[in-house]
Amino acid sequence: MTFKPTLKGVTFAVAATLAASAAYAEDDTIKVGVLHSLSGTMAISETTLKDTVLMMVEEQNKRGGLLGKDLEAVVVDPASNWPLFAEKARELLTQEEVDVIFGSWTSVSRKSVLPVLEELNGLMFYPVQYEGEESSKNIFYTGAAPNQQAIPAVDYLMNDLGVERWVLAGTDYVYPRTTNKILEAYLKDHGVAASDIMINYTPFSHSDWQSIVSDIKSFGSQGKKTAVVSTINGDANVPFYKELGNQGISAEDIPVIAFSVGEEELSGFDTSPLVGHLAAWNYFQSVDADANYDFIDMWHAYIGDEDRVTNDPMEATYIGFNMWVQAVEQAGTTDVDAVEKAMIGQTTPNLTGGMAVMNKNHHLSKPVLIGEIQDDGQFEVVWETMGVVPGDAWSDYLPGSKMLLADWAFPLECGNFNVESGACSGQSYE
């Protein structure tokens, strides 16, 4: 008996074949989620990081992909809307089924994403300096912890510039408030009187700086060397620095050292009034290193614009991406638990001529640099650590965290182990 396929049968067979082909195509790629604001107040900083991830995906595919598969970037825009970060992260993990996420800038966005990552066992690389006081199995922190940026910056101002009065100026959210709480405790531990510390917070996108800068100028006119330690984030930095110039505050009078202003932010306006002000990072574009020159060339070739600058969070993205690739190759899978374990101990060249190391607390060891703003919008390095500094997840200067230890390696496998009680008081493998 000869079987004669009906039209319905043929249609079904074709549909099944197409579905199988689509499934194969999907299985044949490794999806990389990109969770950065492309609109809103943080787009000034985050758009470049989206482009950096896309560049790294393209470069990896040129090298043959990963585990025999091409990488596929899946980009979403949480639009500087902190609750939307959580929604977009859930979309990436459940609908797009990405294998890893590179994303977030502000700590409030990261903290919005964190419970989603832990609920769904997703993996995210966070590439920006932050306040510490956190260690999750599901996040690798490739930006600076306070002991890799804020504390060395204050030490430099105190020891090298003789600063005695301190303005802690920040955007009103978790990163500036927690960082300034650490710095206030640190300054008082070093003999600074409460009357010599001025603390001020402003909203995101704050634009009217006249009265605040006037207060800073008055605070700095009391006969003691004064400096501003700035955790102002996003596009509010543009009017802040402009107002400093308007009121004639030079770096010689009251130096500003910033933790959220790099080459990308400075490229948006005339920097001539800002010459001499400072920033503390782990990387500057001006660093003289072959790896840095290669990275800059790669960036310019990808973006098609030789005037586009590089910055510290780009380096942190670069380091995190390369370590993730190495960990996936070592584990032989993109499985989150396997990759998380393989990540600990990974090393990769940084862009300043040394090696970055991923520690058991999911934080990097890397150098600390302080740069002085030049009239071309670049930084001249005026101070740097002799070697790399391991990032601390928990501050030694806050009473609630100085007894906590993050160690995700066997046998501890805990993000906040209390060394006094001998107990893990938060997320662990159990």
Pull the structure tokens for residue 124. Answer: 């995210």
Going by pLDDT thresholds of 50, 70 and 90, the confidence category of residue 19 is very low
Tokens 């005695």, residue? 164
Integer Cα distance of 296 and 80 in angstroms: 27
Closest C-alpha among 383, 395, 368 to residue 186? 395
Integer Cα distance of 39 and 47 in angstroms: 8
Please check whether the domain covering 147-287+370-390 is classified as CATH 3.40.50.1860: no
What is the predicted pLDDT for the residue at 40?
A: 95
**Stretch (H or E) spanning 45:** helix 43-62
Closest C-alpha among 419, 427, 282, 418 to residue 340? 427
Pull the structure tokens for residue 1. Answer: 């008996």
User: Which amino acid is present at 229?
Assistant: V
Closest C-alpha among 111, 196, 106, 142 to residue 348? 142
Integer Cα distance of 12 and 23 in angstroms: 16
Pull the structure tokens for residue 122. Answer: 């997703």
- Chain mean pLDDT for the chain: 92
Integer Cα distance of 194 and 21 in angstroms: 68
Going by pLDDT thresholds of 50, 70 and 90, the confidence category of residue 428 is very low
- CB neighbours of residue 39 within 10 Å: 13
Pull the structure tokens for residue 10. Answer: 């043929």
- Determine what percent of the chain is predicted with pLDDT higher than 70: 93
| Contact (Cβ atoms closer than 8 angstroms) between residue 37 and residue 103 | no
| Contact (Cβ atoms closer than 8 angstroms) between residue 232 and residue 169 | yes
pLDDT (tens digit, 9 = 90+) per residue, 87-145? 999 999 999 999 999 999 999 999 999 999 999 999 999 999 999 999 999 999 999 99
Q: What is the mean pLDDT of residues 222-238?
A: 93
Give the single-character DSSP code of 139.
E
- Strands (E) in 185-289, as ranges, are 197-202, 226-231, 256-258, 278-281
Residue 189 dihedral angles phi and psi, to the nearest 5°: -65, -25
Residue 153 dihedral angles phi and psi, to the nearest 5°: -65, -45
Integer Cα distance of 308 and 270 in angstroms: 16
User: Which amino acid is present at 343?
Assistant: M
Tokens 């966005």, residue? 109
Domain 28-144+293-365: which CATH class? Answer: alpha beta
- Pairing state of beta strands 389-390 and 379-384? unpaired
Three-class SS of residue 85? helix
Give the CA angle between residues 46, 77, 343 to the nearest 5°: 65
pLDDT (tens digit, 9 = 90+) per residue, 350-390? 999 999 999 999 999 999 999 999 999 999 999 999 999 99
Q: Does position 13 have pLDDT exceeding 50, yes or no?
A: no
Pull the structure tokens for residue 405. Answer: 């230890």
Pull the structure tokens for residue 39. Answer: 């609109």
Closest C-alpha among 125, 149, 184 to residue 391? 149
Cis peptide before 411 (omega within 30 of 0): yes
As annotated, the residues of the chain forming the CATH 3.40.50.2300 domain(s) are 28-144+293-365, 147-287+370-390
Closest C-alpha among 336, 286, 291, 333 to residue 311? 286
- CB neighbours of residue 222 within 10 Å: 11
Q: Does position 25 have pLDDT exceeding 50, yes or no?
A: no
Q: Does position 346 have pLDDT exceeding 80, yes or no?
A: yes
Name the more confident of 11 and 327: 327
* Cβ partners under 8 Å of residue 297, min gap 6: none
Closest C-alpha among 172, 104, 86 to residue 142? 104
Query: Taking phi first (over 0 means left), then psi (-120 to 50 degrees means alpha), and beta for anything else, what does residue 388 get?
Result: beta
Closest C-alpha among 355, 353, 378 to residue 366? 355
Closest C-alpha among 306, 313, 301 to residue 264? 313
Integer Cα distance of 303 and 55 in angstroms: 8
